Amino acid sequence: MIKSPISLAFEKSKKEKRPALLTYTVAGDNTKKKSLDILNSISKYADICEIGFPHNTPIADGGQIQTSAYRAIKNGIKMKDTFQIIKKYKMKNSKPIILMGYFNIIYQYGENKFLKKCKQVGVNGLIVVDLPWPDNKNFARKCKKNSISFIQLLSPTTSKSRMIKIIKDSHDMIYYISMLSTTGGKLKVSSKEILKKYNAIKKLNKSKNLVIGFGITIKNIFSLKRADGLVVGSALCREIALSIKKRQNPVTNVTIMVKKLKEKLS
């Protein structure tokens, strides 16, 4: 069986005895060209790049990511532009890309048409924030048929019996939401507590790649390095906003941050 690019990225980081670094940025922030330039640049250091398709009511996203989405929408970003950014990125990069967003946009686009387009442009994985298990089972099957990994979500309140079922149905990677908050919130629980919960989940199935997201910054990333992977999103969106405010180049500044994050894990 051929291993997916996402699985291979985790294999590589495990061989290097470190967690995989996953980055998250929003398509079209702050312009279509700049968001592509950011992706191309940070992929030198990131193991997997997540890209969000902007949504005007992003329920799970914190202030920084919401602001990024609003900037992109204001600049006229559409789903077709998001696909174009991914297509151009994939022409130059072999690093896996995960598309993240909300189901109503997929529904409006048409599930089959959306997945066909994802496959065409080179999307490797999908995170659909508002499509929980078991409601996502049919869609996840469709993803697999299109060689796209559907990424299941777990949270601190997910019961053990439910977790076992979700993990069983998961593909190449599972996303553990570290706290009950929107993205980018300050960690309300200690890294020690997060890892305790993480390790309990990991024991349920050691072969699955389990990543931690929400509230990860340059200050706390080192303390979580026992995880299979760590997702940094809001900190990067904040850096884009600061760069715009200071009239600096967000591509340069975000790349410097991702390089520093990688160094903390190496």
Please identify every residue annotated as catalytic: 50, 61
| 53 HSE (CA, 13 A, CB side) | 27
What's the distance, CA 66 to chain centroid?
15
DSSP 28-66: TSS-HHHHHHHHHHHTTT-SEEEEEPP-SS-TT--HHHH
CA distances from 169 to 50, 104, 140, 205 (A): 21, 22, 9, 12
Identity of the residue numbered 231: V
Contact yes or no for 38/243 (Cβ under 8 A): no
d(CA 266, CA 13): 9
Q: What three-state secondary structure class fits 77?
A: coil
Phi-psi region of 253 (alpha: psi -120 to 50; beta: other; left: phi over 0): alpha
DSSP 187: P
What's the distance, CA 241 to chain centroid?
19
d(CA 154, CA 101): 16
